[in-house]
């Protein structure tokens, strides 16, 4: 972590740090903090420069560096020890930035892009201090975990790329904006559903025109794949790395479409929210689909997201148009989503829920049975009733309609990974 000791100009009054997550075999400093009642991975502190008084001193056995921190109870502690030991206890912590998802995503992607560019073009690993300086006004959103994740991504990327000479940009930048525009016209897919790459590395001087002027999606995706295997274009999907090292894979739909995923996609369990805001359906392998409403308090449009339980990141959205078409064409069923469905469909939704519970009696951690669910519906306002009507149709499409549950979930897994006959190749670092 960039140093918080003797660095008041950069990490001044009120700068927040959080104790690092616990690891196997706690170090001496971690044990010291735990002995004071603090919880690893949870307790947040604020740097304070000139405290009026000190409530507690935590002293390492050696070192003279020092920092004053204010804990959640506003107690001031002074930590004394070596600079490395003190900084090793903490991560820089973003404050109230969680609500601004777009800015957080941009910060994470920029950190990865700058680290990649620094290494491949200048043979230099940018320090955490250098990264924070480059963030300018977005420093508020910074967390050390973003830097640590990006370093692991870089280590994994080195397996694919040895030399520099690239332009670097985030999705939809100057070079890739016309590429995504072509893809939308040829595939009918939104940007991420065609290619979810967050970062594009494109060889300097490489002519994108042959790809951009493709006349069909087969040609578009074929030329993109050819450019990747020649290392002229590297589209990269970035996932937060919470494990010790990053892993990677090349998602090339032309090679993966007819290969079964090495996953047990049989049904494991279901958790349907008692507010009818979402459900999470889990397979035995850990692959799960979450159905919910993106704007939680205002909309009636249902969206689906693929995830691996415990992985620390989302796989990606299940293409909404493709899913509706799949259910309509295979099962002759029209999903209910968005405004305009109306309360007239409430009896049908109740009947569908009854059919679901007859087949799978346990549908929730909080809803006891069918009668309990219906009481919740009947007591709800009209907006929640409409949510119930819509989301039950999606639940019905998973739990009752498919003859083979695993086949249906395989479609969702491939869609969330952008493995379709119209999807472009990308490299995923996770």
| In the block, residue with structure tokens 């990747």 | 228
pTM of the model: 0.73
Q: Report the DSSP beta bridge partners of residue 306.
A: 289, 316
Q: Please state the φ and ψ torsions of residue 36, each to the nearest 5 degrees.
A: -90, 5
What are the tens digits of pLDDT across the range 6-42? 665 667 788 888 898 877 655 778 888 888 889 888 8
What are the tens digits of pLDDT across the range 393-406? 999 999 999 999 99
Q: Report the DSSP beta bridge partners of residue 287.
A: 308
Backbone dihedral region for residue 315 (phi beyond 0: left; psi -120 to 50: alpha; all else: beta): alpha
Closest among 221, 121, 160, 147 to 421, alpha carbons compared: 221
Residue 234 clears pLDDT 90, i.e. is over it: yes
Q: How far apart are the first and last CA of the chain?
A: 21
CB neighbours of residue 156 within 10 Å:
17
Token pair for 88: 């090793």
> What's the alpha-carbon Rg for the chain, to the nearest Å?
25
What is the H or E stretch that residue 357 is in? Answer: helix 346-359
**b/e for 27-55, b at 16 or more Cβ within 10 A?**
eebbebbeeeebebeebbbbbbeeeeeee
What are the tens digits of pLDDT across the range 269-321? 999 999 999 999 999 999 999 999 976 567 899 999 999 988 777 789 999 99
Token pair for 395: 């639940």
Confidence band of 97 (pLDDT split at 50, 70, 90): very low
Question: Percent of the chain beyond pLDDT 90?
Answer: 69
| In the block, residue with structure tokens 């939680």 | 296
Confidence band of 340 (pLDDT split at 50, 70, 90): confident
pLDDT at 392: 98
Q: From residue 8, how far is each of 47, 50, 291 by CA, in Å?
A: 9, 11, 46
Q: What is the mean pLDDT of residues 232-254?
A: 95
Token pair for 376: 């919740």
CB neighbours of residue 346 within 10 Å:
18
Token pair for 400: 């009752």
Q: What is the mean pLDDT of residues 67-89?
A: 89
pLDDT at 277: 93
Residue 317 DSSP label: E
Token pair for 118: 């620094």
Residue 22 DSSP label: P
**b/e for 276-285, b at 16 or more Cβ within 10 A?**
bbbbbbbbeb
Hey, is 260 helix, strand or coil?
A: coil
- Please enumerate in sequence order all residues whose Cβ is within 8 A of that of 272, keeping only pairs 6 or more positions apart, or say none: 279, 363, 364, 367, 395
| DSSP of 35-62 | HTT--TTT-EEEE-SS-S--SEEEE-SS
Q: From residue 310, how far is each of 286, 288, 313, 415 by CA, in Å?
A: 8, 10, 8, 20
Closest among 312, 318, 399 to 360, alpha carbons compared: 399
Q: What is the mean pLDDT of residues 131-148?
A: 89
| In the block, residue with structure tokens 């007239």 | 344
What are the tens digits of pLDDT across the range 154-208? 999 999 999 999 999 999 999 999 999 999 999 999 999 999 999 999 999 999 9
Q: What is the mean pLDDT of residues 221-246?
A: 96
Pairing of strands 278-283, 287-293: antiparallel
pLDDT at 24: 61
Token pair for 294: 């993106």
Token pair for 247: 């892993």
pLDDT at 159: 96
Average pLDDT, rounded, for the chain: 91
Query: Can you list the positions of beta strands (E) in 228-318?
Result: 233-238, 248-251, 267-272, 278-283, 287-293, 302-308, 314-317
- Domains in the chain: boundaries: 16-92, 101-254+422-429, 267-416
Q: From residue 225, how far is each of 133, 200, 333, 337 by CA, in Å?
A: 36, 14, 36, 35
Pairing of strands 90-92, 199-203: unpaired
Token pair for 102: 């777009």
pLDDT at 197: 97
Residue 1 DSSP label: -
């Amino acid at each position: 972590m960039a140093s918080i000791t003797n660095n008041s100009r950069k990490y001044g009054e009120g700068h927040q740090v959080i104790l690092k997550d616990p690891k196997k075999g706690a170090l001496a400093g971690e044990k010291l903090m735990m002995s004071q009642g603090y919880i690893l991975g949870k307790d947040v502190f604020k740097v304070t420069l000139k405290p009026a008084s000190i409530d507690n001193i935590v002293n390492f056995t050696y070192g003279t560096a020092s920092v004053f921190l204010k804990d959640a109870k506003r107690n001031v502690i002074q930590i004394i020890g070596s600079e490395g030991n003190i900084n090793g206890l903490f991560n820089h912590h973003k404050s109230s930035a969680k609500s601004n998802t777009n800015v957080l995503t941009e910060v994470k992607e920029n950190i990865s892009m700058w680290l990649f560019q620094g290494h491949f073009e200048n043979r230099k690993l940018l320090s955490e201090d250098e990264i924070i300086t480059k963030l300018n006004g977005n420093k508020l959103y910074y967390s050390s975990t973003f830097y640590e994740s990006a370093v692991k991504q870089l280590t994994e990327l080195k397996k694919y790329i040895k030399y520099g000479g690239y332009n670097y940009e985030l999705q939809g930048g100057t070079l890739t904006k016309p590429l995504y525009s072509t893809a939308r016209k040829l595939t009918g897919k939104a940007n991420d559903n065609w290619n979810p790459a967050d970062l594009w590395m494109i060889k300097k001087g490489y002519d994108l025109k042959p790809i951009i002027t493709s006349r069909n999606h087969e040609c578009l995706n074929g030329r993109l794949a050819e450019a990747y295997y020649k290392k002229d274009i590297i589209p990269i999907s970035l996932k937060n790395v919470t494990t010790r090292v990053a892993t990677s894979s090349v998602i090339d739909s032309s090679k993966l479409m007819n290969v079964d995923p090495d996953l047990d996609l049989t049904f494991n369990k279901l958790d349907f929210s008692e507010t009818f805001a979402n459900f999470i359906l889990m397979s035995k392998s850990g692959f799960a689909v979450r159905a919910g409403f993106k704007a939680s308090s205002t909309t009636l449009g249902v969206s689906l997201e693929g995830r691996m339980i415990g992985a620390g990141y989302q796989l990606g959205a299940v293409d909404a148009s493709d899913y509706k078409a799949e259910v309509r064409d295979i099962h002759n069923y029209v999903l209910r989503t968005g405004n305009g469905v109306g309360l007239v469909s409430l009896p049908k939704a109740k009947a569908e829920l009854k059919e679901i519970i007859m087949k799978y009696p346990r549908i929730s951690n909080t809803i006891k049975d069918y009668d309990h669910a219906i009481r919740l519906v009947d007591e709800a306002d009209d907006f929640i009733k409409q949510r119930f009507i819509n989301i039950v149709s999606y639940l019905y499409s998973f739990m009752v309609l498919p003859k083979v549950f695993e086949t249906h979930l395989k479609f969702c897994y491939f869609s969330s990974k952008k493995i379709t006959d119209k999807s472009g190749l990308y490299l995923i670092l996770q």
